A and B are shown apart, each in its own frame.
Chain A
Amino acid sequence: EAQVTQNPRYLITVTGKKLTVTCSQNMNHEYMSWYRQDPGLGLRQIYYSMNVEVTDKGDVPEGYKVSRKEKRNFPLILESPSPNQTSLYFCASRFRGQAGELFFGEGSRLTVL
Chain B
Amino acid sequence: KNEVEQSPQNLTAQEGEFITINCSYSVGISALHWLQQHPGGGIVSLFMLSSGKKKHGRLIATINIQEKHSSLHITASHPRDSAVYICAVLAPGTSYDKVIFGPGTSLSVIP
Contacts and interface: CB of A to CB of B under 8 A. Distances in A.
Given A90-B43, A101-B45, A103-B45, A96 B96 contact: yes
B90 to A, nearest CB: 7
A53 B50 CA distance: 30
28 contacts: A33-B99, A42-B86, A42-B102, A42-B104, A43-B86, A43-B88, A43-B101, A45-B98, A45-B99, A56-B95, A90-B42, A90-B43, A92-B43, A98-B30, A98-B90, A98-B97, A99-B48, A102-B48, A102-B88, A103-B45, A104-B35, A104-B43, A105-B42, A106-B41, A106-B42, A107-B41, A107-B42, A107-B43
A111 to B, nearest CB: 15
Given A98-B31, A102-B88, A104-B42, 7 more contacts: A33-B99, A42-B103, A43-B86, A43-B101, A56-B95, A90-B43, A107-B41
A33 to B, nearest CB: 7
Interface string B23-42: 00000001101010000011
Interface in B19-69: 30-31, 33, 35, 41-45, 48, 50
Interface residues of A, number: 20
A50 B42 contact: no
Interface residues of B, number: 23
Interface in B75-111: 86, 88, 90, 95-99, 101-104
Contact of A98 (B50, B88, B98, B101): B50
A103 B44 CA distance: 7
Interface of A: 31, 33, 42-43, 45, 48, 50, 56, 90, 92, 96, 98-99, 101-107
B35 A102 contact: yes
A41 to B, nearest CB: 9
A99 B97 CA distance: 11
A92 B44 CA distance: 10
A106 to B, nearest CB: 4
